[in-house]
Amino acid sequence: MTIHVHQICLHNAVIENISEISLVTDMQTVTAKVQLAWNDMIETENESLRERVGDLEKKVLEQGDEIVCLRSTLADALRRLNQLEGSRTLSLNTSVLKNGNTPRAGNHYGGNGHHLISPTLSQKEVTLRYRSTNEHPVSALRDPVRRVPSHNSTHSSLPQRRAVHYQSTGSLHSDSPSSSSVSPVPPASPSPSPTRPATAQKSQRSNGTNLYNSKRWSSTGDFNQAQQFSVAPQSSTLASSTRDATYNNEEGSVRMFLRGRPINLYAPTADIATYDITKVATAPSSKLKLDWVYGYRGKDCRSNLYLLPTGEMVYFVASVAVLYNVEEQSQRHYLGHTDDIKCLTIHPNKLLVATGQTAGHDSREGKPHIRVWNSVSLATVVVLGLGEFERSISCLSFSKADGGSLLCAIDEGNDHNISVWDWQKNEKGHKITETKCSMDTVVAAEFHPLERNQIVTCGKGHISFWTLDTGGTLYKRNGIFETTRDRPKYVTCLAFTQNGDVLSGDSNGSVVIWSRGTNNIKKVARNVHEGSVFSICALKEGSIITGGGKDGKLIQFDTSMHPTGYEAQVAEHLGGIRTVSEGRGSQLLVGSTRNCILIGSLSMGFSPAVLGHTDELWALCPHPTLAQFLTAGFDRIVQLWDSLSHSVVWSKDIAEQAQSAAFSSNGHIIIVGCVSGKWIVMDSETREIYSTHVDGNEPIQVVKFSPDGQLLALGSRDNYIYIYQVTDGAKHYTRLGRCTCWEDKCRRRCSTGAIIDKLSGHSSFITHIDWSSDNEYLRSNSGDYELLYWKVKVCRQVPQSTQLRDVAWASNSCVLSFSTIGIWPEGADGTDVNACERSNKAKLMATGDDFGKVKLYSYPVKQPKSLCHSYGGHSSHVTNVTFLHDDSRLISIGGKDTSVLQWQII
C-alpha cells in the first residue's frame, strides 16, 4: 500500500515537471515569436524611414533646383535690363563726344574703354556720375558669398598703389551693344615718356633665356605696367624698339637692332625732313572688342561643359571661358585668366563658376591659380592659390551636401596633390588641407553629392575615397577590385546615382558601381564600350548615359545599369566622346575629343554647335569680298568660316598639314601651302582640288597673289621665293622662276661683319612677303631678320633698298619695314612678333606675338616708341592676324591653343 502511494506521488510529480517544462517551452516559443515580430516591425519601419528620407532628399534637391532656376532667371532678367541701360549710357557718352568733348591721349578708360572720363574730374565726381550699374542687381541676387574688393570701373588720375587686385567689370552689362564680352579693367594709359615703359618691358624679359627657349607656349605679354593680377585686354602700352635705335638725317634711315643685329630701314622721301625718332606715337582711337570665340578644348580636358539655368553653355578654350547661348546665338566671355584654362566646375547654386589655369612662363602673372567668378556679371569673386600650386590645376569640384562652402583642387605637379579650400574665407581664401593624392595621373575629383566631406578621386590604376574630418585632415581608402583582371589601367570618369552610389568608368570599357559609403564594388557592367569610357552622366530622372572615347557611342542605362535600348553614334570625323552633361529637357550636351560640341538627344540624334581645330594653327586669310575667312593647320583640316553667322561654311580634310593660305583676287580660288612643300589649288565654293604642286621639301611659309591676280608668290622654308604666272581664272599656274640675287654670285656682309658668298637672296627661311601696288616688286622678311626687295619679272634681288623707299605697297605683312618699327618691344629677339597686318583703309595695324597678345596700333607704326592697345585671350603664341575685307573685324589665331578669336573694331 505504501509503495502504491509512493508511485502515485512520483507519477504526479513527473506530470507536474512535464507541465512546467511544457509551460517554459511555450513561453520561449512565444517570446521568440514576439521577438521575430518585433524585428520584422523594426525592419519595416527602417525601410519605410529610408524611403521617406530618400523621398525627402529628392524633394530637397528638386526644390533646390527650382530655387536655382528662379534665381538664375532673375539674374538673367537683370543682366538684360542692364544691357539696355549700358546701351543708353553708351549713346549718352557718344553724344557727349559728338558735341566736341574729344578725349585727350592721357584720358583714362573705364570698363572696356567706352566710358571716357576726363582726368580733371575728382574721384568723387567720377563715382557719382558713372556709378556702377550692377550695384542693385548684384545685391538683389543676395549671393551668400563674400565679394573681393576690386578695381572700380573708373580710374583716378592719381598713381595706383602697388598691390594685387582682381579684375571686376563693375557692371552687369557689356560696354558695347554688339558684344557681351566683359573684360578686366585696364590700367591707365601710360605717360608718353620712354623711361617707365621701357623699364617695364626690360624687366618683363629679364629671364630672356628661359623665355626664349619656351616662348612657344608663353602667354604673359605686357603686364608689367599694370600693377594688378589680371589680363589687360584693352590697355595702352608703350612698345619701344631698342634704346639704341638711331636716325640718320642724311640717308633718311633708321638703324635698329634685333638680337644684336643691325637693321637699316629707309624712310619715304616725304618723311625724311620731318621725321623725329624721339616722338611718341599715340594709340589709335579705334579699339578691339572680343566678338566671338571659335573652338573648344576637348582634346585633353574633361568635365568642362555645362548648361547654366539661363540657357548658356559654359566651356573654355585657350584662356577664355565662353558662355554661349545657342538659341540666341550670343556669346559672353570671361577673360580673367592669363594662360590655358585646364578645368571648370559649377557651384551648386548654378551661378558661380570656378576655373583653374596652368602655369605660364612669367614668374608673376603666369602662376597657376583658381578663379571663382559670377556667371551673370562676369565679376571675379576670389582668386585662390597664387603661389600654392606647382604646375596646373587639372580638377576642381565644389562641395554639394553643404551648399558649396568648400572647393577641392588637384595639382598636376609630381605628387598630384589634393587640396581643399574654404574659398569664402579671407580675401584670398583659406586652404584647409593639402596632401599627396597619387604617384600617378589623377583625371577626376568630385565631392559626394549626399555625404558631407566625402571626396572621390580617380586616375591611372586607382580610385580613392577620401574623408575630411573635423580637424581638417584627409583620410584615404583605395577602391578594392575583386580580381586583378578587374583592375583597369585607368579609371577615367566619375558620377553618382540618386541613392549615393558611385559610378566609375574605366579603360576596360566597364562601368563599376561602388556602394555608398564604402570602397567595395557593388556591381560591374563589363564591355559597355569598345575602348575607354570617357564620361558618365547621371540624369535627374534616374537614367545613366555613358560615352565612349574610342567608339563614339552614347548608351543609356537604367538605375541598375541595365541597357534601355537607346543609344546614338557620333560621326567619326567629330571625334570620340570626351564629356556628356544634361541639357534642357531631354537634350544632352556632348564635348568631343576633336574639339567639337554637339547638342541633341538619343532619339533625335546630335548636331554640332561648336567646331574647332585640333592641332597647331598657322594658316589664315580673309575673303576679298565677303565677311568670311579661312583657317588651316597641322590637323590637315581647312575650314571656311562666316563671321556674321559665326559658323563653319565648310570643312575639308586635305590629308596634308597646312602652313599658309591665300584667296585669289576674286575669291573663287584658294591656295593652301603645306608643310611638305606641296601647295594645293582649291575651289572656294565646291572644295574641289584642281591641282597639287611641289616646290622643294620644306614648308611653304607664306603665299600671296599679286594685286591684279596675275602672279603668285610662295615663300618657302628652303630660303626661296617661287613666282608663278596665273591663268585660266586662277586654275592654271606656270612657274616663272625663283628669286635669287641680282648676280649669280654676290658677296655680302653677314651680321658679324665677315664677307660671305651666297647663291640665293635670303640666307634663312622666308617669313613674310608683300606685293607692290603696281605688281612689279616684292619685299620679303626672313628668319635671320633680313628685309630684301625683288624685281618680280626677272626674279632678281634689287640690291639698293633706297631705290624702293617710295614704292606703294598693296599690303604690309612684313614685320621688318620702316612702317613697322614701333611694333618691336625692347629687347626683342626678332621672333617675338609672329605676324602683322595693315587694315585695308591703312589706318590701323594689328600684330600677334609670342606672348599670346593681339595689339592694335595706328598705322604707320614708324616711331620706335609707339602706344598701342593690347588684348589677351590666346594662351599660346598668336601665329596670324588679319582684317576682314571691310575692316569691321579682326581675326586672330593661336598656335597650340587651336583657338580662333574674332574681334570687333569699335
pLDDT (tens digit per residue) in 556-587: 999 889 999 999 999 999 999 999 999 998 89
- Per the CB < 8 A criterion, the answer to whether 501 and 493 are in contact is no
Per-residue pLDDT band at 71 (split at 50, 70, 90): low
Q: Which range, 210-214, 244-248, 500-504, is most confident? A: 500-504
Strand, coil or helix: what is 639?
A: strand
Is the pLDDT at 597 greater than 80? The verdict is yes
Nearest-angstrom CA–CA distance, 111 and 179: 13
pLDDT at position 391 is 87
Nearest-angstrom CA–CA distance, 17 and 300: 84
pLDDT at position 626 is 97
Read off φ and ψ for residue 887, nearest 5 degrees: 60, 20
pLDDT at position 88 is 57
pLDDT at position 407 is 96
Query: What single-letter DSSP state applies at residue 30?
Result: H
pLDDT at position 117 is 34
pLDDT at position 18 is 61
Range from 49-53, 213-217, 364-368 carrying the lowest mean pLDDT: 213-217
More confident residue, 695 or 97: 695
Q: What is the distance of C-alpha 101 from the center of its chain?
A: 38
Residue with cell 505504501: 2
Is the pLDDT at 99 greater than 90? The verdict is no
More confident residue, 768 or 194: 768
pLDDT at position 22 is 64
Nearest-angstrom CA–CA distance, 736 and 738: 7
Nearest-angstrom CA–CA distance, 482 and 491: 15
Per-residue pLDDT band at 82 (split at 50, 70, 90): low
Q: What is the distance of C-alpha 535 from the center of its chain?
A: 21
Strand, coil or helix: what is 794?
A: helix
Nearest to 175, CA basis, from 166, 189, 185: 185
Task: Find the helix or strand (DSSP H, E) in which 598 lies.
Answer: strand 597-601
Read off φ and ψ for residue 203, nearest 5 degrees: -65, -30
Query: What single-letter DSSP state applies at residue 215?
Result: G
Nearest-angstrom CA–CA distance, 837 and 846: 5
What percent of the chain stands above pLDDT 90?
Answer: 61
Nearest-angstrom CA–CA distance, 249 and 567: 76
Read off φ and ψ for residue 573, nearest 5 degrees: -70, -15
List, in sequence order, the alpha helices (H) in 575-666.
none
Read off φ and ψ for residue 12, nearest 5 degrees: -65, -40
More confident residue, 30 or 762: 762
Q: Is beta strand 280-281 parallel, antiparallel or unpaired with respect to 865-871?
A: parallel
More confident residue, 643 or 185: 643
pLDDT in tens, 386-411: 889 988 999 999 999 998 999 999 99
Q: Which residues, 6 or more positions from 49, have their beta carbon under 8 angstroms from its beta carbon?
A: none
pLDDT at position 153 is 34
pLDDT at position 298 is 94
pLDDT at position 48 is 75
Q: Mean pLDDT over residues 672-697, rounded?
A: 96
Is the pLDDT at 267 greater than 80? The verdict is yes
Q: Mean pLDDT over residues 442-447, rounded?
A: 95
Residue with cell 568670311: 628
Nearest-angstrom CA–CA distance, 869 and 237: 6
Q: Mean pLDDT over residues 46-68, rounded?
A: 70
Task: Find the helix or strand (DSSP H, E) in which 197 lies.
Answer: helix 195-204
Q: Mean pLDDT over residues 37-56, rounded?
A: 76
Give exposure, 796-805, as e/b (b: 16+ Cβ within 10 Å). bbbeebeebb
Nearest to 334, CA basis, from 554, 518, 552, 181: 181
Per-residue pLDDT band at 20 (split at 50, 70, 90): low
pLDDT in tens, 480-539: 987 777 789 999 999 999 999 999 999 999 999 999 989 999 999 999 999 999 999 999
Nearest-angstrom CA–CA distance, 452 and 514: 17
How far are the Cα atoms of 131, 231, 284, 749, 864 from residue 824, in angstroms, in the given order?
39, 20, 17, 24, 8
**Summary mean pLDDT of the chain:** 80
- Per the CB < 8 A criterion, the answer to whether 433 and 473 are in contact is yes
Q: Which residues, 6 or more positions from 383, have their beta carbon under 8 angstroms from its beta carbon?
A: 148, 166, 229, 369, 370, 371, 372, 428
Per-residue pLDDT band at 366 (split at 50, 70, 90): confident
How far are the Cα atoms of 451, 618, 791, 794, 885 from residue 770, in angstroms, in the given order?
65, 18, 12, 17, 17
List, in sequence order, the alpha helices (H) in 369-501.
none
- What is the rounded (10 degree) CA torsion for 637, 640, 641, 645? -130
pLDDT at position 510 is 94
Q: Mean pLDDT over residues 45-69, rounded?
A: 70
Q: Is 195 left (phi over 0), alpha (psi -120 to 50) or beta?
A: alpha
pLDDT in tens, 296-346: 999 999 999 999 988 999 999 999 999 999 999 999 999 999 999 999 999
For residue 850, the one-letter residue type is D
pLDDT at position 243 is 58
pLDDT at position 360 is 77
- What are 879's three cell numbers? 601665329
Read off φ and ψ for residue 684, nearest 5 degrees: -75, -15
Nearest-angstrom CA–CA distance, 536 and 541: 15
Per-residue pLDDT band at 119 (split at 50, 70, 90): very low
Residue with cell 658679324: 752
Is the pLDDT at 760 greater than 80? The verdict is no
pLDDT at position 704 is 97
Is the pLDDT at 240 greater than 60? The verdict is no
pLDDT at position 35 is 78
Q: Mean pLDDT over residues 589-610, rounded?
A: 95
pLDDT at position 220 is 30
Helix, strand, coil percent content, the chain, rounded in steps of 5: 15, 40, 45
Q: Which residues, 6 or more positions from 102, have their beta carbon under 8 angstroms from its beta carbon?
A: none
- What are 904's three cell numbers? 570687333
pLDDT at position 25 is 67
Sign of the dihedral through C-alpha 247, 250, 252, 258: negative
Task: State yes or no: cis peptide before 159, omega within 30 of 0.
Answer: no
pLDDT at position 203 is 37
Q: What is the distance of C-alpha 408 from the center of its chain?
A: 21
Q: Mean pLDDT over residues 758-787, rounded?
A: 89
Per-residue pLDDT band at 155 (split at 50, 70, 90): very low
pLDDT at position 24 is 61
What percent of the chain stands above pLDDT 70?
Answer: 74
pLDDT at position 212 is 33
How far are the Cα atoms of 657, 677, 711 from residue 696, in angstroms, in the given order?
15, 5, 19
Is the pLDDT at 19 greater than 70? The verdict is no
- What are 646's three cell numbers? 559665326
What is the maximum alpha-carbon separation in the chain? 163
